[in-house]
Amino acid sequence: MNIFADLLPPKSAVKPSNKKTQAGPTIQKQRRGIEIKSKREIEIMRQASVIVATTLKEIMEITEPGMTTADLDAYAEKRIREMGAVPSFKGYCGFPASICSSINHEVVHGIPNKKKVIREGDVLKVDTGAFFNGFHGDSCVTILVGEVSDEAKRLSQVAEESLFAGINQVKAGATLLDLAIAIEKVAKSAGYAIVEDFTGHGVGRNLHEEPAVFNYRTRSIPKVKLRAGMTLAIEPILNAGKKTTKILGDRWTAVTTDRSLSAQWEHTVLVTKDGYEILTDRTKV
């Protein structure tokens, strides 16, 4: 199974629709192939992505032991709406919240819960998206809560390095295989497993668009050359133990089958003629 990493849609719910409501983004009908964004569309994606980057930067600053994942979700939703956007995740295929909050051996798609208390030493992944003027931004961070183990620090650091190794391959003319090879090299040389059950994706009018962005070498990688104006969500997930995951009974939360730690970082990235622009860059907000 290879599924876009930010929200595993229950299969029955993945039906493209042109319906628009005031409540938030709907899944737009996929156009054929990979969309090349116009200058105007890129500018809107920059704005959507700045909202995501600002929200995640603030979440990283306020997170502390004793808070619940529901507290972080409420904060994220409030800030995304204050900045004039709509949370991309809320209602997406029935997902009930504005962030995914996944702790320790939880890999992705953890559902915020007022009973889920964040503790010293936790490895907390927070993933969120903002829908602004018709376009989405999408990013994920790993937050090390208070004092964490050396293993947790190293895993998160290598996961972030693998993201940037992938991003560094991005330019017009490069291939998705180039990204996968670069990401895989960093993860494997550090001795970590790459989760294969979830991939990155194109992002734009839809939270998830073509192409799938794989984090490891496989024949399934779409054979496309990157072109200026494409926008990709690159989001490798690394496990300290085995690569395998399973979905819990809530139908969303993915966990490592061996209960080993998992870390993930994600950016929305614009392909340019000579390289890339990280649209969700938190250092610029």
Q: Are 216 and 177 in contact (CB under 8 A)?
A: no
Which residue number, 152 or 237, has a Cβ lying nearer to Mg ion?
237
Tell me the H-state helices in 127-221.
150-167, 176-189
Which residues have a Cβ under 8 Å from the Cβ of 136 and sit 6 or more positions away?
25, 45, 48, 88, 129, 130, 203, 204, 205, 206, 207
Complex with Mg ion: residue 34 or 140, whichever CB lies closer: 140
Residue whose CB is less far from Mg ion, 30 or 117: 30
Q: What would the two tokens of residue 99 be?
A: 């962030």
Is position 233 an interface residue for Mg ion (rule: CB under 5 A)?
Answer: yes
Containing 71, the helix (H) or strand (E) segment is: helix 69-82
Q: Is 143 in the site for Mg ion (CB under 5 A)?
A: no
Interface with Mg ion, residue 8, by CB under 5 A: no
Q: Rounded to the nearest whole angstrom, what is the least distance from the CB of residue 1 to Mg ion in the complex?
A: 16
Tell me how far, at minimum, the Cβ of 140 lies from Mg ion, in Å.
5
Q: Is 138 among the residues that bind Mg ion (CB under 5 A)?
A: yes
Closest approach, Cβ 173 to Mg ion, in A, equals 24
Q: Dihedral of the CA atoms 159, 163, 165, 168 (nearest 10)?
A: -160
Which member of 8, 70, 93, 140 binds Mg ion (CB under 5 A)? Answer: 140
We find the least distance from the C-beta atom of residue 88 to Mg ion, in angstroms, to be 9
Residues that bind Mg ion (CB under 5 A): 6, 127, 138, 140, 233, 266
